[in-house]
Amino acid sequence: MQRIIVLSNTVGRNFEKAIKATAVREADGFEVVSLLTSNECDYDNLVRNIQKTSSHLFVDLEKKQPLNIKNQFDQKGNLFNSIYMSIKKNNLQNKLNLYPIKLNDITVNATWKHLNRIYKDISGLKLGLIGTGNIGSKLVSTLTESGVKVRCFNRDINKAISVVNNVILTKPEQVIVSPDVVRCIEHSIINTAGLIISCSEISEDLSEYISLIHGEYKIFLIGHSILKENALKKFQNNNIDVQRIDVGKELLSFVIGTLKTNNYDVFGKNTFNEYEVCSGGFIGEKNNLIVDNYKDPKWYIASSNGKGGVNYKNNIRGLKSLTELDDLYNQ
């Protein structure tokens, strides 16, 4: 079993020790251990301990700790940079591989995939959303682009308005639906199929709005300790489905996928027969052939137009052509 460490920091949660293990997940021969750290952590000691049990360390890029105004050279809120410098300082570059990760984006993707699994076709769905912070705002954009009508509530209505206006201005032109802002929390529940709660705390007891909720309504929780005491029991007694978004599957997909594709590199240019070929995003000269892998080409994709774009031409001798697939799927 190969161990992978995922490290992040947080605000608002205190632990007895500087490092707190929060989860262990196993899949496909990998054991993924999630660790949380505070700004009191000794990073030099941490990386030395990690390299004893693992050679792969994923560190959250998202800055969650405040700026250190006392020491401009000790910005431990920038976790990735702090770990990078500690690895370098302790000469562990050849023993501990460092990878960036954005855990809030993992949460957004996990939520989007979960909703697709639950509802099958989310286009045309109406959902309420409480909380338009970092995760919530990204969800508004992702869901809107998927055709979901989102009703957004935030304690700071101006923040919700800003998020919604930005999504409306940046969504693809052909996306018909647009998100809305509601001023009352109960308005995010009325006439919707479900509610996503993406905030650290809610002052209201959502179970007070049970009369507004129909039988197949679903509530999705993102975060920790969101509901008021006894609210979950009230929902369950009224057969209202409350689910917590589990990021585990998406996290495993990202970290294991990153390791398994780490050596995949097809960027470059080569000569194949009498042709100049390139792949992997390499910008070739005019009439260079774009192929699947410049080292060992099997498929001809297109020809470079010399300006960063492509031209689709006839088949090339010795290579498979995408027209084979065109013919296959146009029968």
Domain boundaries, the chain: 2-101, 104-247, 268-329
pLDDT tens-digit readout, 99-120: 999 999 999 999 999 999 999 9
d(CA 279, CA 310): 12
Residue 66 pLDDT more than 70?
Answer: no
Fold of 104-247: Rossmann fold (3.40.50)
Residue (of 143, 238, 237, 123) closest to 195 by Cα position: 143
SS3 helix, strand, coil % of the chain, rounded to 5? 30, 25, 45
Residue 82 CB-density burial (10 A; 0-12 exposed, 13-18 middle, 19+ buried): buried
pLDDT tens-digit readout, 137-166: 999 999 999 999 999 999 999 999 999 999
Task: Give the pLDDT of residue 16.
Answer: 77
pLDDT tens-digit readout, 260-297: 999 999 999 999 988 999 999 999 999 999 999 999 99
Share of the chain above pLDDT 90, in %: 66
Task: Give the pLDDT of residue 69.
Answer: 60
Q: How confident is the model at residue 307 (pLDDT cuts 50, 70, 90)?
A: confident
Phi/psi of residue 107, nearest 5 degrees: -65, -45
Phi/psi of residue 283, nearest 5 degrees: -85, 105
Averaged pLDDT for residues 188-192: 92
- Beta-strand runs (E) in 30-181: 30-37, 56-60, 97-101, 126-130, 149-153, 180-181
Task: Give the pLDDT of residue 24.
Answer: 96
pLDDT tens-digit readout, 194-234: 999 987 677 788 888 888 888 789 999 997 757 888 888 88
pLDDT tens-digit readout, 71-100: 554 555 588 988 999 999 999 999 999 999
pTM summary value: 0.89
Least confident of 6-20, 30-44, 202-216: 6-20
Side by side, the strands of the sheet bearing 19-27 are 19-27, 30-37, 2-9, 56-60, 97-101
